[in-house]
Chains A and B, each alone.
Chain A
Amino acid sequence: MKSFRDLLFPLAAVAAAFAVGAVLVLAVGDSPLSTYTLLIGSALTWPDGIGYTLFYATPLIFTGLAVAVAFRCGLLNIGAEGQLYIASFATAWVGITFAGLPALVLVPLCFLAALVAGGFWGAVPGVLKARFGAHEVITTIMLNFIAIALASYFTQYHYKPPGDALLETVPIGESAHIARLGRFIPGFPERIPLNLAFPLALVTCLLVYLFLWRTRWGYEIRATGANAAAAQYGGIATGRQIVLAMAISGALAGMVGINEVLGYRYRYYDSFSSGYGFTGIAVALLGRNHPVGVILASLLFGALLRGGLFVDIFTEHVSKDLVLVLQGIIILFVAAEALFRGPFGRRIKGV
């Protein structure tokens, strides 16, 4: 599956992005060399650099998987942002409402809430596409805004601690917390928010791999994305695959809530996402829509997010927005070359 050529293009895209970024850094008056050294270097220190890099990579793995699964069915899921917000809120809601329950019950319940809420929010545009032919790109973008607004509403009017200046909910029950990795790794402090959601993300990658390549459902989703006419010929109900793929995609995006709410803030915090849903697109593209690639790309972007903070503070002129710029260029390059590659995930145009 992973051939040398498959690796070459994403690497070229990253290299090209860094080159353009270097030009920009020069333009604003800093040294590209020292900037990049800081960028990468601060991501690799122990324990903070690596710890935070992995922590930031965790939601990216989830959204990257989400976008990748949708791509495999020929769909472009821009709605990971909205799906993760809805799911995160749902997780928090369960954690707050059922705070009394023991951890053994509450944690899986919160988990389930994230999957169901995210899955639902993903299934809606899937149904709209399958039934009405509504373009999933636009419907998912609309649902993003709606999701953020709804979560914001509920937070502000129903779940905010009185007198609290920030837009956040009351804390979830203690038993819903999931452990930070610092508890298990010697020399690794618990103040770093890297938590069990990270190994969960890795396991999820494995599950997604198994699902796509070892189950019939996964096969049918991939066939639909590769050639909807042939899939139909083979008896596959392509409309159903679309809804299924979008629902799974939404559920995967929703798992971000586990990292964020159960492992880090222990509450729902309005607008907490630093564009994880959109970065997920870059991650999926760079990772060639494959779980292994998603992990690698997430590590890269996680490192950039971490390094970006340091670049922000410690350089004269460059800000952490450099990371956004790098991201955008990478997507552009990958998108431009992707069509030469072939196995990308063709858009479903109807049989």
Chain B
Amino acid sequence: MLELRDITKRFGEVQANDRVSLRVERGTIHAIVGENGAGKSTAMRIAYGFYSADSGDVVVDGEVRRLESPHDAIALGIGMVHQHFMLVETMTVAENIVLGIEPGSRAALDLKGAESRIRALSEEFRLAIDPAAPVEDLSVGQRQRVELLKALYREARLLILDEPTAVLSPQAVADLFAILRGMREQGKTIVIVTHKLSEVLALSDEVTVMRDGRVVGHRKTVETSAAELARLMVGRDVLLRVVKPESKPGEPVLAVRGLSLAGLDGERRLDGVSLDVRAGEIVGIAGIEGNGQTELIEALAGLVDRKAVSGSIELEGKGIAPLSARQRRARGIAHVPEDRHRRGLLLDFDLAENSILGAADQPPVAVGPGRSWLKLDAIRRKTERILAAFDVRPPDPDLPARALSGGNQQKLILGRELDQEPRLLLVSQPTRGVDIGGIEFIHRRLVEMRDAGCALLLVSSELEEVMALSDRLLVMREGRIVGEVDPARTSMEEIGLLMTGGDAAA
């Protein structure tokens, strides 16, 4: 029913889709799997008319179509349920569903008519949604069903669901699957974009695997296995070999017990996380992004509302849970954030002022009463030292941070944090958006820090990286540590299975 032929799409430097071709048969549930950044969402957004491809064709019901906007896709019977819900909380279900295609006249909205139609659809597909309910009262699972109703109301024959189970509890997932199967019986075609292999195996008829913007495989679900899919997903790319002497771990530096964090919507972002990091070792955390790694690092750095966090955090034997971010820095915790533009840099400030972020209250940079006077020459010396030691180019302290490339920005941040000579270094996605030379450089420096006695906690969604760098490797999924492995002796497939929940014991 839907076919993509040689779809190619580039966003700036990133090749999101590279000659992607796939084919969805009518009346099936088709899964598209891949890691974050594999290009699956992009391909589907092109199918939905949200983006337009640089080249290639979208074929609907056998005819090549030009999709200029979601309107065109909807007219052809394609509907999409986004990963992040597009709902207006203060309005009712019915109001949200009819937004944009309001029934009735200019002067009078026919909500009653809409409500009865929605009720009928809800019953037909067993969605159990009351159209008059305000969306803000609905649970996450229910809101997702409203999004489904939106598509059904517009008479979608093919429904694309983008990471639908990312925010659902296991029970809600089971409910959703029952509904999707019901829809398939009713003749609907379903495409589900996901990285969770257990779900693919449980639900789909066919599966297409994508990696790095390309389609790397297509199987009938009954003919494949989790292991095969995992292997296709993570690939047999050249493993970055980091020359790494044996680690000599020393005293425990970080001890975390039962760390839990509830998000704004009540969902548990961290669920009883416990881990240790000793001096002179790199503990890595592998996992698909969005499984609690961000929250873990931010909670340890003191950037999360301390009231929402429960559990204990000890640095060198002393509890630090009630301490502020500044106090934790003073105790020797440094942090390379995963989003360097949002958290790590003041883009419009020059390199000198960026090099003191997080350290502006320390001598020799700050002197005088209250450590309030900034010594410009000390700042400049510090900046030049960092720029030289970390090969930041161009090494001009007066440049705005915005002017540096991603790799150089990252080196600056790393240099700044390491200049603090921390006891514990929290590193998240250290080489995202960094070129090969920069990656090698950063990896080498991290190992050097380890050998100098620093304790490092490393989060990365690049499996090769975290396997190569870590002395011990923990795997995180759904806010929990689901396993610990020795990265030197474990295969990528095994780790991949832990990451994606492909193992039978979930």
Contacts and interface: CB of A to CB of B under 8 A. Distances in A.
Question: Do A's and B's CB atoms come within 8 Å in the complex?
Answer: yes
A220 B360 contact: yes
Interface stretch (A222-230, A310-318, A331-339): A222-230
A216 B342 contact: no
Nearest to A351: B303
A315 B282 CA distance: 80
Interface of A: 214-217, 219-220, 222-223, 226-227, 229-237, 342-343, 351
Contacts of A230: 342-346, 357
Given A233-B337, A235-B329, 19 more contacts: A214-B373, A215-B372, A216-B373, A223-B346, A223-B349, A226-B346, A226-B348, A226-B349, A227-B345, A227-B346, A229-B343, A230-B346, A231-B346, A232-B303, A233-B301, A233-B343, A233-B358, A235-B327, A235-B358
Nearest to B350: A1
Contacts of B310: none
A7 B381 CA distance: 31
A343 B402 CA distance: 12
List the 9 shortest-distance A-B pairs measured between CB atoms, nearest first: A235-B326, A234-B358, A234-B357, A343-B348, A233-B343, A235-B325, A226-B346, A216-B372, A235-B329
A235 B348 CA distance: 19
A233 B360 contact: no
A119 to B, nearest CB: 18
Given A214-B374, A214-B376, A236-B326, A219 B360 contact: yes
Contacts of B324: 235, 237
Contacts of B301: 233
Nearest to B328: A235
A256 to B, nearest CB: 27
B357 A223 contact: yes
B371 interface: yes
Contacts of B376: 214
Please classify how large the interface on chain B is, using the bins under 10, 10 to 19, 20 to 34, 35 or more: 20 to 34
Given A233-B303, A233-B335, A343-B348, A215 B343 contact: no
Contacts of A232: 303, 325
A351 B337 CA distance: 15
Nearest to A346: B348
B229 to A, nearest CB: 37
B80 interface: no
Interface in B298-349: 301, 303, 324-329, 335, 337, 342-349
A229 B329 CA distance: 16
B251 to A, nearest CB: 25
Interface in B222-251: none
A165 B329 CA distance: 63
Interface in B379-416: none
A290 to B, nearest CB: 13
A216 B343 contact: no
Nearest to A343: B348
A298 to B, nearest CB: 25
Nearest to A227: B346
A323 B96 CA distance: 49
Nearest to B359: A234
B374 A219 contact: yes
22 contacts: A215-B374, A216-B361, A216-B366, A219-B374, A222-B349, A223-B346, A223-B357, A226-B348, A227-B342, A227-B346, A230-B343, A230-B345, A230-B346, A230-B357, A231-B346, A233-B301, A234-B325, A234-B358, A235-B324, A235-B325, A235-B326, A351-B303
A216 B378 CA distance: 13
A227 B345 CA distance: 8
Nearest to B365: A216
B373 to A, nearest CB: 6
A217 B303 CA distance: 20
From A216, A222, A232, A237, name the one whose CB has the most chain B CB atoms within 10 angstroms: A216
B344 A233 contact: yes
Contacts of A351: 303
B451 interface: no
A229 B372 contact: no
Query: Which of B326, B342, B345, B374 has its CB near the most chain A CB atoms (within 10 A)?
Result: B374
Contacts of A227: 342, 345-347
B356 interface: yes
A223 to B, nearest CB: 6
Nearest to B357: A234
Contacts of A216: 360-361, 366, 370-374
Contacts of A217: 372
B353 interface: yes
A13 B13 CA distance: 36
A295 B370 CA distance: 30
Contacts of A229: 342-343
Nearest to A219: B360
Contact of B353 (A219, A233, A235, A342): A219
A226 B345 CA distance: 10
Contacts of A226: 346-349
Of the candidates A217, A227, A351, the one having the most CB atoms from chain B within 10 angstroms of its own CB is A227
Contacts of B373: 214-216
B278 to A, nearest CB: 25
Contacts of B337: 233
Contacts of B370: 216
A128 to B, nearest CB: 20
Contacts of A222: 349
Contacts of A223: 346, 349, 357
A217 B366 CA distance: 11
Contacts of B371: 216
Contacts of B353: 219
A240 to B, nearest CB: 11
Contacts of A234: 325, 357-358, 360
A231 to B, nearest CB: 8
Contacts of B345: 227, 230
A300 to B, nearest CB: 26
A248 to B, nearest CB: 14
A179 B482 CA distance: 77
A220 B361 CA distance: 10
A118 B326 CA distance: 30
Q: Which residue among A229, A232, A233 has the maximum number of chain B CB atoms within 10 Å of its CB?
A: A233
B98 to A, nearest CB: 31
A68 to B, nearest CB: 16
Contacts of B346: 223, 226-227, 230-231
Contacts of B349: 222-223, 226
A230 B301 CA distance: 13
A219 B356 contact: yes
Q: Which residue, of A215, A216, A235, has the highest number of chain B Cβ atoms within 10 A?
A: A235
A220 B370 CA distance: 14
A4 B346 CA distance: 23
A240 B368 CA distance: 21
A350 to B, nearest CB: 11
Nearest to A217: B372
B67 to A, nearest CB: 32
Contacts of A219: 353, 356, 360, 374
B348 A342 contact: yes
B218 to A, nearest CB: 41
